[in-house]
Amino acid sequence: MLTNIEHISEPLLWQRLLNFGNECYQQKNWLQAEYYYKEAESQLDYLWSLEPTNVNLLMAWICTLHNLSTLFEQQGDKQIGLHYILSAHHRMIHLTQGVETAEDVKLIAINALKITFPPLLAFSRRNPICEDCEQSIKAFQQQIKQHETVLH
């Protein structure tokens, strides 16, 4: 007979990888931080593909991409930093527009856009970005304004 025993007190592999990445980042050990963050991202991406409605995995995946963005921005490689911050945002947009995306996953992705967009906007204010990216950000801001409801 198989039993499913969860070790709640023991951090999962992706959590340990993120912790190691954060420690390396704090010590300015950029290559090791990059390695741990990329390993965590890969692990989270895989786990989330198995459980697309698991919001905790999605949020951890987004945070890991934001960590990678910050890591590269800190090192002066703004282009790669932008790549990582855009990756999370674009994937959420893609999910919201996907014909084959389940409705519950679409709703999760719509809510996740509230987490992916502010750091992208902040990044664009700190760093010069290409005209196409700037236009996309402005267009997305307009979409948000159109869908906001006013509560009195």
> Over pLDDT 70: what percentage of the chain?
86
Say whether pLDDT at 130 is over 90.
Answer: no
CA distance 89 to 96: 11
The CATH number of the structural domain formed by 13-146 is 1.25.40.10
Mean of all residue pLDDT scores within the chain:
86
The model carries a pTM of 0.83
Least confident segment among 21-25, 92-96, 147-151: 147-151
Residue with tokens 């010069």: 128
The CA–CA distances, whole Å, from 101 to 43, 51, 61, 85, 96 equal 22, 13, 19, 22, 7
CA distance 56 to 135: 31
Task: Count each helix (H run) and each strand (E run) in the chain, helices first.
Answer: 6, 0
pLDDT digits (tens, 9 = 90+) for 39-84: 999 999 999 999 999 999 999 999 999 999 999 999 999 999 999 9
